[in-house]
């Protein structure tokens, strides 16, 4: 998303409500889009989404043997049963280490313009390689992952998923398979999606009021697009810095990636799809209720104080962003041989 588009949208949202006239659904469709499988797969570049590749990626996503300890899988931190995240504030990694930030949700992650809170990976393909090699997460190496592929039933599955490749069992193809699977982890058919697609009764009165406030108060200046976020970076505390518990001083966000002074304490805007399922909130995992999170954002980003009624309406609207959760059968993983890597 270009900075000029964001600036134009921000200026539009600062106009009085009368200037943003018209049908609420029409206004919403100008800012947001519904979740669809077609839209998701169109965003995957250089990696054809095939049934064989998706099935392989699913097994790899659930396989703890891709970690050095052989105890941690992708699903350990991105649990598909709890909104695509784990249930605690920060994830447990190798040797019981904890990461410094809340795990982002894997659900609808394909719609994000970049991955991780600081945007250091441009897509799911690049992102899939990071946790495997991170010391605080899986603490493994590409060579060990490739050895696992060669010494289990995965070898045949990689050949099937990448039939034109003379050497299919590579770490790069490992990441492509996971990307293909994760591109299917979308949550369509939320009440909000049905509203966008023409069902005027999909949202109740409180949710409708919340949507109107979400637009008019300026929340949608950053939380826009299909994922209601995930497509831009903004300074946390643009108007008023929250407490050090919510915004730890040592974590300067995107600044660590770019080195630019203007990126200090800037983070990728959190996607809000299914947000009601995945407390605690923010990169610091410091807030446990949506009510508090909404108040923090209003004060720190907009310089606004919401009434209890306004807060409740926006929270109700956020609840209407929960879509159909992906139904994924737990896979049976290919057996190892005596030569497979061991911890």
Supply the residues annotated as catalytic: 137
268, β-bridge pairs: 233
Do you find a cis peptide bond into 133, omega within 30 degrees of 0?
no
CA–CA separation, 93 and 99 (whole Å): 7
CA–CA separation, 173 and 171 (whole Å): 5
CA–CA separation, 295 and 71 (whole Å): 38
CA–CA separation, 25 and 34 (whole Å): 12
Residue 293: helix, strand or coil by DSSP? helix
How remote is the C-alpha of 187 from its chain's centroid? 12
**Rg of the chain taking only CA atoms, in angstroms:** 21
Q: With CA atoms as reference, report the closest residue to 297 among 285, 306, 308.
A: 306
H/E element, 319: helix 308-319
How is residue 58 annotated by DSSP?
A: H
How far does the chain reach from its first CA to its final CA, in angstroms?
43
């Amino acid at each position: 998303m270009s900075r000029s588009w964001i600036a134009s949208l921000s200026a539009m949202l600062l106009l009085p409500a009368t200037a943003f006239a018209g049908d609420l659904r029409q206004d919403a469709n100008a800012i947001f889009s519904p979740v669809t499988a077609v839209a998701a797969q169109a965003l995957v570049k250089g990696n054809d989404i095939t049934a064989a590749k998706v099935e392989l990626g699913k097994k790899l996503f659930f396989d703890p043997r891709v970690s050095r300890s052989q105890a941690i899988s992708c699903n350990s931190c991105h649990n598909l049963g709890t909104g695509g995240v784990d249930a605690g504030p920060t994830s447990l990694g190798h040797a019981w280490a904890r990461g410094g930030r809340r795990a982002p949700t894997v659900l609808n992650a394909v719609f994000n313009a970049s991955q991780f809170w600081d945007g250091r990976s441009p897509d799911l393909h690049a992102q899939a390689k990071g946790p495997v090699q991170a010391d605080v997460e899986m603490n493994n190496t590409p060579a060990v992952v490739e050895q696992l592929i060669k010494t289990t039933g995965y070898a045949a599955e990689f050949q099937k998923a990448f039939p034109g490749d003379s050497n299919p069992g590579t770490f790069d193809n490992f990441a492509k398979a996971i990307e293909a699977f994760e591109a299917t982890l979308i949550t369509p058919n939320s009440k909000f999606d049905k509203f966008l697609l023409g069902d005027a009764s999909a949202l109740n009165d409180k949710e409708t009021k919340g949507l109107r406030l979400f637009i008019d108060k300026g929340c949608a200046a950053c939380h826009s697009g299909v994922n209601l976020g995930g497509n831009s970076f903004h300074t946390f505390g643009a108007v008023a810095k929250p407490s050090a518990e919510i915004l730890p001083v040592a974590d300067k966000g995107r600044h660590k990636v770019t080195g630019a002074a203007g990126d200090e304490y800037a983070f990728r805007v959190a996607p809000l799809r299914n947000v009601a399922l995945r407390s605690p909130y923010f990169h610091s995992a410091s807030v446990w209720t949506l009510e508090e999170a909404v108040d923090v954002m209003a004060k720190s980003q907009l310089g606004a104080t919401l009434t209890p009624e306004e807060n409740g309406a926006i929270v109700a609207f956020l609840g209407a962003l929960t879509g159909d959760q992906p139904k994924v059968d737990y896979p049976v993983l290919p057996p190892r041989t005596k030569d497979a890597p061991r911890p």
